[in-house]
């Protein structure tokens, strides 16, 4: 879950990282109350998207008249598909040098890594080579790894100590707030030699939000999905179903405009199945990952939710070979949901492809209701093709 810039800066400030002081403005009238100390200023659209400057979402103002004009121009406008409802007004800094500092979770390394480049700003991706080092998450208070990283990138003297201190604070924030990404771009060195974060980007692990209810309440995070705006009614209801029963996962829903409901899972297999459905000409109504042995009730309610959406009258159930999910429980849940809607499972389910634990029991249930199913000899791609082409397609 991505935070807005002003929210990210608030977390950085609380972690002891020097941050540009700004004023959040939500209507044109508030532009008149911005302190003179913030002028000349930088007016930045608060949207959950990168590349704001290149898209015209960052405006520089010399005086209050220009500030008033910039606020009026941005508020209510659309930027990269997002409605601008708030802007952040920062004082312009006298910048001598810019850097990029970040900490993210690397799935390949299976741990957090620190990233640094001597060139920050809007073209950081095209700038200097990025230096990186894996860091211990349990002991981020030690600045040794960060000093080693920075020294290897050519940082020395007093600046080495100051930047390693900022990196250490970022690591503590990353750990304590269950972040998946914390980055400062740019971290500016002012003409007076002081480091200051001019922009920040923080993403939180949605599955850990229950540990951070203060943030959920402070910024109304419930229902926020990151870069695609608020959750739809379908997505919110799926989350409620998932939260109502601790067993397994069956509610990470993203709604799409298609007509074929999908119950898919198995890590990367869920993405493989989704892409395969589209490749064979199908129009998914959703992306929804299930797994971890969800209860019959949870699968049943999710099935009913999908089929209750206008235009959705078919579902496909496709997963990788499972060892942590009982095939029979998923089969019972899907069939039970369809029956409770007064529908025929054999006509609604276009394919059921979940091989693995308790599969023979699951297949017996499916045979009883005339549901087309596939075992592990049928690939995910072939199962997706059958789902798109219709019942029992071969």
Distances (CA, A) of 67 to 24, 33, 77: 13, 11, 16
- What does the pLDDT read at residue 390? 75
Q: Which two tokens stand for residue 263?
A: 């119950």
Strand runs (DSSP E) across 283-335, as ranges? 286-291, 314-319
Q: Give the pTM.
A: 0.65
- Provide the CB-side half-sphere exposure for 174 (13 A, CA): 28
Query: What is the set of domains in the chain, with CATH numbers?
Result: 21-91 (3.30.1490.20), 95-218 (3.30.470.20), 233-389 (3.40.50.261)
User: What Rg, from alpha-carbon coordinates, does the chain have?
Assistant: 25
Q: Prior bond to 121 cis, omega within 30?
A: no
Q: Can you tell me which residue has the tokens 């690591």?
A: 171
- Expressed in percent and rounded to 5, the helix, strand and coil fractions of the chain are 40, 25, 35
Q: How far apart are alpha carbons 141 and 96 in whole angstroms?
A: 29
- Which pair of structure tokens corresponds to residue 243? 């939260």
For residue 340, the tally of other CB atoms under 10 A from its CB is 13
Residue 311 is classified by DSSP as T
For the record, the structure tokens of 378 come out as 């049928």
The pLDDT value given to residue 228: 47
| Residue 383: half-sphere exposure toward Cβ, Cα within 13 Å | 31
Asked if 196 contacts 190 with a C-beta cutoff of 8 angstroms, the reply is yes
Query: How far from 222 is each of 202, 239, 263, 281, CA to CA, in Å?
Result: 17, 10, 24, 34
- Pick from 16, 52, 40: which is nearest to 185 by CA? 52
Q: What is the dihedral of CA 344, 347, 351, 356, to 10 degrees?
A: 20
E strand residue ranges, 148-296? 179-190, 195-197, 200-204, 249-255, 260-265, 286-291
Query: Chain centroid to CA 337: how far?
Result: 30
Residue 56 region by backbone torsions, left for phi larger than 0, else alpha for psi between -120 and 50, else beta: left
Q: So what's the pLDDT on residue 337?
A: 97
CA dist 38 and 23 (Å) reads: 8
* Structure tokens given for 88: 């952040």
Q: According to the model, what pLDDT value does residue 127 have?
A: 47
SS3 45: strand
**pLDDT given for residue 227 in this prediction:** 46
CB 200 within 8 A of CB 172: no
Mean pLDDT by 10 residues, the chain (394 residues): 95 95 92 91 92 92 94 93 92 93 82 86 57 74 84 92 94 93 94 93 90 93 62 86 88 88 86 93 93 94 96 95 93 97 97 96 97 95 93 52
What is the reported pLDDT for 122?
A: 55
In Å, how far are 105, 213, 331 from 341, measured between CA atoms? 43, 36, 16
- C-alpha–C-alpha distance, residues 382 and 273, integer Å: 10
Residue 97: predicted pLDDT: 93
Residues 12, 202: Cα–Cα separation, whole Å: 9
Question: What is the rounded CA–CA span in Å between residue 319 and residue 293?
Answer: 12
Residue 14 CB neighbours (<10 A): 12
């Amino acid at each position: 879950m991505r935070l807005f810039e002003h929210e990210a800066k608030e977390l950085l400030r609380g972690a002891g990282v020097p941050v540009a002081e700004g004023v959040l403005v939500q209507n044109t009238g508030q532009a008149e109350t911005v302190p003179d100390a913030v002028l000349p200023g930088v007016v930045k659209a608060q949207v959950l998207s990168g590349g704001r400057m290149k898209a015209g979402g960052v405006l520089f103002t010399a005086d209050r008249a220009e500030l008033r004009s910039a606020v009026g121009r941005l508020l209510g406008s659309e930027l990269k598909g997002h409605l601008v409802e708030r802007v952040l007004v920062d004082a312009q800094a006298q910048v001598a040098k810019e850097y990029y500092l970040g900490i993210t979770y690397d799935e390949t390394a299976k741990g957090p890594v620190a990233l640094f480049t001597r060139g920050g700003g809007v073209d950081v991706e095209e700038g200097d080579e990025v230096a990186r080092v894996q860091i211990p998450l349990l002991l981020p208070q030690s600045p040794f790894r960060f000093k080693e990283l920075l020294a290897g990138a050519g940082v020395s003297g007093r600046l080495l100590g100051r930047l390693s201190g900022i990196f250490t604070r970022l690591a503590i924030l990353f750990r304590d707030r269950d972040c998946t990404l914390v980055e400062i771009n740019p971290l500016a060195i002012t003409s007076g030699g002081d480091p200051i974060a001019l922009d920040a980007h923080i993403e939180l692990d949605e599955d850990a939000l229950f540990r951070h209810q203060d943030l959920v309440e402070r910024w109304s995070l419930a229902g926020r999905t990151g870069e695609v705006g608020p959750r739809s009614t379908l997505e919110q209801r799926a989350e409620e179903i998932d939260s109502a029963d601790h067993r397994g996962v069956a509610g990470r829903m993203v709604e799409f405009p298609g007509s074929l409901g999908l119950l898919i899972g198995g890590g990367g297999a869920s993405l493989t199945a989704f892409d395969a459905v589209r490749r064979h000409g199908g129009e998914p109504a959703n992306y929804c990952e299930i797994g971890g042995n969800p209860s019959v009730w949870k699968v049943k309610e999710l099935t009913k939710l999908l089929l209750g959406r206008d235009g959705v009258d078919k579902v496909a159930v496709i997963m990788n070979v499972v060892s942590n999910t009982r095939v029979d429980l998923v089969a019972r849940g899907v069939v039970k949901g369809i029956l409770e809607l007064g529908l025929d499972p054999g006509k609604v389910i276009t394919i059921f492809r979940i091989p693995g634990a308790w599969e023979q029991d699951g297949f017996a249930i499916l045979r009883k209701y005339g549901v087309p199913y596939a075992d592990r000899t049928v690939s995910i791609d072939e199962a997706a093709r059958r789902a798109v082409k219709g019942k029992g397609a071969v």
